[in-house]
Structure 1
Amino acid sequence: MEGKFVALVNRYSFEIALFAFSIRIMTAAAYAGAEACMFT
């Protein structure tokens, strides 16, 4: 089971990294937008 999970992560590591990166960008954008709204 663990080996299968590792193989899956290796296979989709790029997609996972891209997804995590997009989530981080969206979170940062939402935080910046909320901050801009507070100080406007």
Structure 2
Amino acid sequence: GKRATKASASARREKEAQNPPKKRSWKAPTQSDAAETAHPEHED
């Protein structure tokens, strides 16, 4: 059970990395967008 959860988390991260940054929209769509646009070279 725990192994499946870990594997799922890993797969989920890989999927998110492949998919567009729509998941981080829930965190801060404006801030994320502004930060990426205002500071393109500032990759935190």
User: Fold match, TM over 0.5?
Assistant: no
Bigger radius of gyration, 1 or 2? 1
TM-score normalized with structure 2 length:
0.41
Higher share of residues assigned helix: 1
